[in-house]
Amino acid sequence: MKLLVLADIDDFRWLGGNGRADVLLALGDVADAVILQAAEAWHCPAVLAVKGNHDADTPFPAPIVDLHLRTIDLGGLSFGGLNGCLQYKPRGFFLYEQEEIEAYLQTFPAVNIFISHNSPRRVHDREDEIHTGFSGLNHYIERAAPRLLLHGHQHRNCETAVKRTRVVGCFGWRAIEIRP
């Protein structure tokens, strides 16, 4: 299965060319119009997304599926997701305390692919008050062992193995192959 992954794109139109992908995964801080344009350009039949700290508090337009604290099965793989980042300012959307994320993920079901705007704590985070990862994601990895955890927010393209989980940070866009 080919995944087209988008995160933290500042442009208001899709500049990533075209191709074919089975699923588009948007990891936050990407305009809805860009998500839809990318899905069309890459012929993606399924579009799953979470919101980032710069996204509006409005529902995604169809056919984008909001994956925040939900699961979905596609093509023999299960997907789950989480919005937002660490609370770094008094007001705003999709800002959470570490304890909130711990509670949200404590009983979240195991999935093959987990998408998040933020990274796990001390895995790709930048150790500042804005780009600090969620410790709840570390505990989720320990408990549920997703095959793949994709995140944005850190403005880095990087990859790290955490136990049996492949943690991939995305900035801009990338295509990833995964077997069901």
* H-helix or E-strand spanning residue 74: strand 71-74
Residue pLDDT, tens place only, 37-53: 999 999 999 999 999 99
Angle CA 23–25–29, to nearest 5? 155
Is residue 175 a contact partner of residue 52, using CB atoms and an 8 Å limit? no
Mean pLDDT throughout 81-104? 96
CB of 26 closer than 8 Å to CB of 50: yes
CATH assignment, 2-177: 3.60.21.10
Strands 148-151 vs 46-49: parallel, antiparallel or unpaired: unpaired
Residue 138 has pLDDT above 80, yes or no: yes
pLDDT at 13: 96
Written as one letter, the residue type at 129 is E
State pTM to two decimals. 0.97
Whether residue 128 is predicted with pLDDT greater than 90 in this model: the reply is no
Amino acid letter at 151? H
Higher-confidence position of 125 and 50: 50
Structure tokens at 56: 């509006």
Break the chain into its structural domains and give their ranges: 2-177
How confident is residue 126, by pLDDT bands cut at 50, 70 and 90? confident
In this model, does residue 130 exceed pLDDT 80?
yes
Q: Which residues contact 27 (CB under 8 A, 6 or more apart)?
A: 5, 6, 7, 8, 49, 50, 52, 115, 116, 117, 150, 151, 152, 153, 170
DSSP code at position 28: S
Report the alpha-carbon distance of residue 60 to residue 162 in Å, rounded.
Answer: 31
Average pLDDT of the segment spanning 13-25: 96
pLDDT of 143 > 80? The answer is yes
Tell me the average pLDDT of the chain.
96
